[in-house]
Structure 1
Amino acid sequence: MQHVFIIGSKGIPACYGGYETFLEKLTENQKSHDIKYHIACAEDKASEVGEFEYNGAQCFKVLRKPIGSAQAITYDIDAFKYCLKYIQENNISHPIVYVLACRIGPFVGRFAKRLHSLGGILMVNPDGHEWMRAKWSLPVRHYWKVSECGMVKHADLLVCDSRNIEQYIHEEYASLKPQTTFIAYGADIKRSTLSDHDQKWTEWLKEHGLSPFNYYLVVGRFVPENNYETMIREFMRSNTKREFALVTNVNEAFLEELEEKTHFQEDSRIKFVGAIYDQELLKKVRENAFGYFHGHEVGGTNPSLLEALASTRLNLLLDVGFNREVAENSALYWTKESGSLSSLITHADRLSKDDIEKLDAASTRRIETEYSWPYITDLYETLFLTISGEE
């Protein structure tokens, strides 16, 4: 039996979030009976700490200490300590500890040494360029970069969810001779269970003054590096008669900043509709958008992009390596240059039904062949069973 301990996510069952959804789908689609997953789950109440089983995985709750921004770091450290103790007490041979993200780089060396002494393997998912995110202060960004270096140095294998990230790891840390492999994030290719007449869907449309296939859409974290300013400014420059629905949990300070820069409140087509946590409703919203804007420029394979390619007919993406790697020729591309996106919106509005259907078929095929969750799960199972010589 291959025991795989996964830490670094908030845990399962997944409510929202990329790593949480990954673990949900990894365990839900498990085929091999030779793998046992152990998954760290964040818990804020000491009285609730304990273990439970979900999707066949042994889940262990780890208390998150109420210490502000350092909370995620101590959570990962405590989860790693739990794994090492469990491995030793249960005499588990050739265990794998898979750490999601690079939060504990300055501290991981001693844990890696202990894991190796128990015959284990340390795998790390480096995520994206967290140290480049504008939301972090300079000291925090410096910590992220130092931490990333530590994780690369001590990992036996880095699992990159983007070939661009994999290339970056080899170029940035060439002196460390990192061992890497590429396994992408996945997407669900099933259509929404909501019908066109479902009350939940029709009321959402009515509440926000929208109609099917008559709105552009964006779904993502409300942060500067996702280029909300560019998308809003360019949409306002366009003459499209369609609406622009922004599905995001807004930060008031950033919202005020955007208003000062763009005066978007003067454009009735622009509608902040809030976050949508009902996954079937969100999928329905994607399926009925005329087009999807994707402005992410930091990170690896982005979950919201995969979901858009799986569900939305027409996708307009910021032209960066991460996005082209995923969508290839199944999408249209824009740059941050003034006039680029507004011109592309005009072009998109004039596309024929046949042109849109061709792009829709290509994006769906891209997800089915390279990014479906069953396919991604198979790749992970093969890796887990072969890295320690069990298969």
Structure 2
Amino acid sequence: MVNVFIIGSKGIPAKYGGFETFVEYLTKRKVSEDITYHVSCLGENNDEFYYNNARCFNIKVPDVGSAKAVFYDLLSLRECIRYIKENNLTNSIVYILACRIGPFFAFYKKQLEKMGVKVFVNPDGHEWKRSKWNYWIKRYWKFSERLMVKHADLLVCDSRGIESYIQDEYRQYRPKTTFIAYGADVKESLLANDDLKLVDWYRQHQVKPFEYYLIVGRFVPENNYELMIREFMASNTKKDLVIISNVEQNAFYQQLLERTKFDLDPRIKFVGTVYDQELLKKIREQAYGYLHGHEVGGTNPSLLEALASTKINLLLDVVFNKEVGADGAVYFTKEQGSLSQLINRTDQYDQGQIGLLGKKAKNRIVSEYSWNKIVSEYERLFLES
């Protein structure tokens, strides 16, 4: 029996982002009876519970501002060590999602080594490049990443681009890496076309099925909202641009408004967030096209979901997006006119072109990014390590 302790996600049931969804599917679709999962969950108490046949343990963390995630990972790791010792577990792996605790990692790693516990790390994307962090936090992220790469037994990269970066950037440590992608579900939405939930959503936002381009993602500068909005406004399309994001009336929003004057274009529609997953899937399926401007590393879950659901996917031409989309998408650059001209062209696609592109996109997910494939590869890794 292999005991796999997963820390670094906010836990399951998944209510948040990519890592949480990953842990949800990894536990829900478990096949092997020789693996027991132990999942750290951010909680209001320190209770234990079972979900998807995984032992989940809550970690209550003091509210210490931006350092809360670091404290959470450290307290989770200490709890893993305590549990392994107390229960005399002899075949254990600790899998840490993201590189938040680098400066403290070597101390705990020595304890785990003495106990015969292997430590795997998922380095995620280029967190140190994200614009939301100030200079000092960016420096901390980069320093932390370096120390976690240095001391990890194995780095599990969900993007070949990130794996290449780790091997090149930290070659002095000779890091041991492997690639296992993130997953997506290709099942169609359970909602019917005339479901009141869907009809009301369209009515509320004055949008028509297959008459809109869609963006889904965090409302941050590195996702290139300004570029996509500016280029969309310069296009000739009569369709809307529907933006599903956690938009707040903050400095970035005001800056975007002042620079682009998108409020003067009735096609641009910020519609807030959609937490109902079946509704969101249906909105993806009925989008004419999907725009993806992410460029800060890693395999992006919203891109996989778009390829699984939307027929025309227009992606920013960076290595991470091309790795995922391959010939199942069309690409634009940051050059002025690149995206607006691409939108004008895709507007003219006939049903044959749309159908072929959609088929290629879905095939990319089925062949390379299905959850069954991802879960199988993880189970093989845990059992053979």
- TM-score bin (small chain): over 0.9
From 241, 261, 264, the counterpart of 1:263: 261
Offset of 1:348 from its aligned partner? 0.4
Q: Secondary structure of the equivalent of 1:306?
A: helix
Give yes or no for the alignment of 1:49 onto 2:46.
yes
From 159, 172, 175, the counterpart of 2:172: 175
Give yes or no for the alignment of 1:120 onto 2:117.
yes
- The residue that corresponds to 1:62 in the other structure is 59
From 155, 158, 162, the counterpart of 2:159: 162
Give yes or no for the alignment of 1:185 onto 2:201.
no
Do the aligned residues in 1 keep the contact of 2:7 with 2:96 (CA within 8 Å)? yes
Q: Secondary structure of the equivalent of 2:57?
A: strand
Separation in 1 of the partners of 2:246 and 2:145?
Answer: 28
Do the aligned residues in 2 keep the contact of 1:9 with 1:40 (CA within 8 Å)? yes
Once the two structures are superposed, residues 212-261 of structure 1 have per-residue CA deviations (whole angstroms, 9 ceiling, x without a partner) of 10000000000000000000000000010000000001032211110011
Once the two structures are superposed, residues 34-75 of structure 1 have per-residue CA deviations (whole angstroms, 9 ceiling, x without a partner) of 0000000001x3xx3210000000000001210000000010
Q: How does 1:154-303 map to 2 (within 5 A)?
A: 154-253=151-250, 254-303=252-301
From 143, 147, 151, the counterpart of 1:150: 147
Q: How does 1:84-103 map to 2 (within 5 A)?
A: 84-103=81-100
- The residue that corresponds to 1:138 in the other structure is 135
What one-letter code is carried by the residue in structure 2 that aligns with 1:363?
Answer: A
Once the two structures are superposed, residues 72-129 of structure 1 have per-residue CA deviations (whole angstroms, 9 ceiling, x without a partner) of 0010000000000000000001210000000000001011111111011000000000
Q: Secondary structure of the equivalent of 1:252?
A: coil
- The residue that corresponds to 2:329 in the other structure is 331
Offset of 1:15 from its aligned partner? 1.0
Offset of 1:135 from its aligned partner? 1.1
Separation in 2 of the partners of 1:113 and 1:337?
Answer: 49
Q: Secondary structure of the equivalent of 2:315?
A: strand
Separation in 2 of the partners of 1:304 and 1:174?
Answer: 31
- The residue that corresponds to 2:101 in the other structure is 104
Offset of 1:16 from its aligned partner? 2.3
Separation in 2 of the partners of 1:129 and 1:144?
Answer: 9
Separation in 1 of the partners of 2:73 and 2:7?
Answer: 7
Do the aligned residues in 2 keep the contact of 1:39 with 1:57 (CA within 8 Å)? yes
Separation in 2 of the partners of 1:299 and 1:372?
Answer: 20
Q: TM-score, normalised by structure 2?
A: 0.99
Once the two structures are superposed, residues 310-354 of structure 1 have per-residue CA deviations (whole angstroms, 9 ceiling, x without a partner) of 000100000000000001011000011111000000010011110
Do the aligned residues in 2 keep the contact of 1:159 with 1:183 (CA within 8 Å)? yes
Q: Secondary structure of the equivalent of 2:272?
A: coil
Do the aligned residues in 1 keep the contact of 2:161 with 2:297 (CA within 8 Å)? no
Separation in 2 of the partners of 1:251 and 1:103?
Answer: 26
- The residue that corresponds to 1:16 in the other structure is 16
From 373, 376, 380, the counterpart of 1:375: 373
Separation in 1 of the partners of 2:351 and 2:16?
Answer: 34
Do the aligned residues in 1 keep the contact of 2:325 with 2:364 (CA within 8 Å)? yes
- The residue that corresponds to 1:346 in the other structure is 344
- Runs of 4+ aligned residues of structure 1 deviating over 2 Å after TM superposition are none
Separation in 2 of the partners of 1:115 and 1:34?
Answer: 21
Do the aligned residues in 1 keep the contact of 2:4 with 2:92 (CA within 8 Å)? yes
From 358, 364, 367, the counterpart of 1:366: 364
Q: TM-score, normalised by structure 1?
A: 0.98
Give yes or no for the alignment of 1:38 onto 2:38.
yes
Separation in 2 of the partners of 1:257 and 1:199?
Answer: 36
Q: Secondary structure of the equivalent of 1:139?
A: helix
Matched residues, percent identical? 57
What one-letter code is carried by the residue in structure 1 that aligns with 2:301?
Answer: P
Q: How does 1:315-326 map to 2 (within 5 A)?
A: 315-326=313-324
Number of residue pairs matched?
Answer: 384
Separation in 1 of the partners of 2:26 and 2:132?
Answer: 30
Q: Secondary structure of the equivalent of 1:168?
A: helix
Separation in 2 of the partners of 1:361 and 1:349?
Answer: 18
Q: Secondary structure of the equivalent of 2:144?
A: helix
Offset of 1:299 from its aligned partner? 2.1
Separation in 2 of the partners of 1:133 and 1:112?
Answer: 28
Separation in 2 of the partners of 1:81 and 1:304?
Answer: 33
Do the aligned residues in 2 keep the contact of 1:94 with 1:118 (CA within 8 Å)? no
Once the two structures are superposed, residues 156-180 of structure 1 have per-residue CA deviations (whole angstroms, 9 ceiling, x without a partner) of 0000000000000000000000000
What one-letter code is carried by the residue in structure 2 that aligns with 1:135?
Answer: K
Do the aligned residues in 1 keep the contact of 2:70 with 2:101 (CA within 8 Å)? yes
Separation in 1 of the partners of 2:361 and 2:61?
Answer: 40
RMSD after superposition:
0.6
What one-letter code is carried by the residue in structure 2 that aligns with 1:181?
Answer: T
What one-letter code is carried by the residue in structure 2 that aligns with 1:220?
Answer: G
Do the aligned residues in 1 keep the contact of 2:105 with 2:148 (CA within 8 Å)? yes
